[in-house]
Amino acid sequence: MAGRKKLVIEESWCKGCGICAAFCPKQVLEIQKEKVSVIHPEQCIACGFCELRCPDYAIYLVNVEE
Amino acid sequence: MASDLVHLYMRIDHLPQMWCPGCGNGVIMRDVAVAIQELIEDPELDFNREDFVIVSGIGCSSRAAGYLDFNSIHTTHGRAIAFATGIKFANPKLHVVVLTGDGDCSAIGGNHLIHAARRNMGLTVIAFNNDIYGMTGGQYSPTTPNGDKATTAPYGNVDRPFDIANLATGAGASFAARGDIYHARETIDIIKQAILHKGFSLVDVYSVCPTYYGRKNKKGDAVEMLKWQKEHLVPTARYYSMPESERADKKLIGILSYNDYPEYTDEYAKVIESCRKKDKK
Ligand SMILES: Cc1ncc(C[n+]2csc(CCOP(=O)(O)OP(=O)(O)O)c2C)c(N)n1
């Protein structure tokens, strides 16, 4: 995962709609058993598109302490 | 665990929200929260959290007023704008933001919408427009496209639809805009502009209802419906740089009409002021 931000998933809030995975520009995410999971964390560019369009607030970026 | 935005501006004990998987309402509610957060945090502006009031009517979308952690009121079906008008009148310095559905604001509440627009009441109306009555099970609404199916239009809708932003403009709104789910960042900026606008502002946000509208009309799931938005709804700059021929099946995301009409509570305050002066004489 790039730089100072990392993805966090609140699995219990995810309804598996797939919006985050479908519009991730780097194919970082996949829906498995109706929940989102991070399959390629190293490719994440922290663009935040997943967080922007997640209707359930189940995926978001946080700043990582250096 | 939840993001800072959710902790700050949503009633976290009410989450997760109860909308269907892929429902656009959650995205619009987040857009509203981000827009307000960015206005409050902008050092050049003077917005306070306590000055925001969120007003909603009845419908799936109207539940947003319960999730957002502001002064908020969940009113009756179609009457959100009427309640909001009262709140604005009682205390004109408040930023009154109405969250409403296409049915709530253009069917049962259509009259309140056009008159608030005509009067230029200083409200911001965000229409969560999913083309259907979601809460009651998928009946057609005034924005259901002609020919589309709904539980009350099993052979296709005979009506012609309203374009809510054009309706508001026609009724005299001083600010009317369109947003959507796919272009969430653009929609946040449009909502900010709408809140900054002094007079009546309306943002018609194209939502998605995969459960009723999508399924009945074979539009696919939420992802398919967002792909449609990506291809057919175009932010302002790109829209105007497109050749005319390409615009035929596209709609603009952005501000559609803008005017500097005097705001209603300002005009009313002038009447009060002039009467006071006469009384003193
Ligand atoms: C006076 C009144 N009439 C009818 C209803 C039933 N009713 C509840 S929600 C709704 C329509 C909701 O559609 P919309 O405003 O588009 O919101 P959505 O649920 O799609 O977000 C209706 C007709 C009601 N609650 N009150």
What confidence tens digit (pLDDT) does each residue in B94-152 have?
999 999 999 999 999 999 999 999 999 999 999 999 999 999 999 999 999 999 999 99
Distance from CA of B6 to the nearest CA of A (A): 8
pLDDT tens profile B14-65:
999 999 999 999 999 999 999 999 999 999 999 999 999 999 999 999 999 9
Q: So what's the ipTM on this one?
A: 0.95
Q: Distance from A55 to chain B by nearest Cα, in Å? A: 4
Distance CA B54, CA B69 (A): 9
Q: What angle do CA A29, A33, A36 make, to 5 degrees?
A: 25
Please give the average per-residue pLDDT across B246-275, as a whole number. Answer: 96
**Structural domains of chain B in order of their starting residue, each with its CATH number:** 2-280 (3.40.50.970)
Ligand 1 atom closest to the Cα of residue B209 is 20
- Per cent of chain A over pLDDT 90 is 89
Tell me the average pLDDT across B218-233. 97
Å from A38 to nearest chain B CA?
A: 17
Report residue A3's pLDDT band, with 50, 70 and 90 as the boundaries.
low
Residues in chain A whose Cβ is within 8 Å of chain B? 8, 10, 12-13, 15-19, 22-23, 51-58, 60-62
Residue B200: which residues within 8 A CB-CB, separation 6 or more? B116, B117, B119, B120, B121, B122, B123, B125, B168, B173, B174, B175, B263, B264
Q: Is the pTM of this model over 0.90?
A: yes
Determine whether the interchain pair A57/B3 forms a contact, defined as Cβ–Cβ distance below 8 Å.
Answer: yes
Q: How far is CA A24 from CA A39, A45, A53, B58, B73, in A?
A: 12, 10, 10, 34, 36
Residue A57 has its nearest CB partner, among B6, B182, B222, at B6
Residue among A35, A41, A39 at smallest CA distance from A12: A35
How do residues B171-213 score in pLDDT, each as one tens digit? 999 999 999 999 999 999 999 999 999 999 999 999 999 999 9
Give the DSSP per-residue string, B31-50. HHHHHHHHHHH-TTS---GG
| Separation of alpha carbons B103 and B121, rounded Å | 21
The distance of Cα A58 from the centroid of its chain, to the nearest Å, equals: 8
Size of interface A-B (CB pairs under 8 A): 74
* Residues on chain B touching A52 (C-beta within 8 angstroms): 27, 30, 184-185
In a 3-state reduction of DSSP, which class is residue B206?
Answer: strand
The pLDDT value recorded for residue B260 is 94
The whole-angstrom distance between residue B5's C-alpha and the CA centroid of its chain comes to 20
Which protein residues touch ligand 1 with a CB less than 6 Å away?
Answer: B 58-61, 77, 101-104, 108, 128, 130, 132-136, 141
pLDDT at B280: 84
